[in-house]
Structure formats: C-alpha cells, structure tokens
Amino acid sequence: MKRLPGKVRRSLRARYYDIEPRAWIGKRGLDEGIIAEIETQLEKDGVLKVEIRKGALISTGMDRKAIAEKVAEVTNSELIDLRGKRFILFKPREGWERYLRRLERKGQARREEKPVRKVRLDIANFRKKFRKGRD
C-alpha cells in the first residue's frame, strides 16, 4: 500500500541511498525474529536498509520484490526503494496519521500563496528613465 506521494518518496530515496544495511534476511526467511528486529530498527530510526541474502530467495521461493513488499506490509512501513538485493523501508516515528497530516498541511501552505500581481509597464516612461540613467 503506497501512502506517500512520489515527491516525498523521491526525496527520501535520495537522502537515504547511502546508508548501510542493518538487517539481513537469510535462510530462515521471514520468521518472527527478523520481523521483530526490523520493527525495532524502524521504531528507533524511522528508516532502515535491509539486505536479502541468496538463502532467503531459496527458502521462501519468492523473488526480491515480493519479499520486500511482504516485509513492508507486515511491519506497516513504506517500501521506498528496491535495488538489487537491498531495499529501504520508511516508517515515521510519530505514526502514519500524524505524519500524513503534517505533509498535507505543508502542501496546503504552499498552495495558498497569493499569485503575483501583474504590473503594466509604460514603455515610454521606462525609456525616459533609462536614458536619464545613462546620461
């Protein structure tokens, strides 16, 4: 389930691209231990990079994208990026409701800006002032 707009997703992807993986899914697959560890890391930092080992692909019989989506669904987090064997999860520490409300307010504040007032330019007066400045 995608909750974040594309613009926010892109900014998160760019910001957290370089972090190191701190959780690994191995030959035991998606057992309770790894899910609990992922949830703990997400609560602590809000963002986590997870690496999928070859044993996980063999033991679960799922492909990388399916494993990443399943982990995001089980942990109630958002899948930000999936590249090769690594994926990035995001879960706001304050909770999804508060985070999405804050995003909405931020977006509305920008939209309520008043448009720039159009000014009519009198070319004759402009040329007179311009000539005076050069003389």
What CATH number is associated with residue 47?
A: 3.30.110.60
**What pTM was estimated for this model as a whole?**
0.75
pLDDT (0 to 100) of residue 112: 61
User: pLDDT for 10-62, tens place per residue?
Assistant: 999 999 999 999 999 999 999 999 999 999 999 999 999 999 999 999 999 99
CA 67 to chain centre: 19
User: pLDDT for 69-117, tens place per residue?
Assistant: 999 999 999 999 999 999 999 999 888 888 888 888 887 766 566 777 7
Identify which of 48, 57, 64 has the alpha carbon closest to the alpha carbon of residue 26.
57
Residue reference for tokens 């330019």: 121
pLDDT (0 to 100) of residue 122: 79
pLDDT (0 to 100) of residue 54: 94
How far is it, in rounded angstroms, from Cα 82 to Cα 101?
A: 26
Domain extent at residue 95? 1-135
* Structural domains of the chain, count: 1
Identify which of 71, 90, 85 has the alpha carbon closest to the alpha carbon of residue 16.
90
Counting DSSP H helices and E strands in the chain, the numbers are: 6, 4
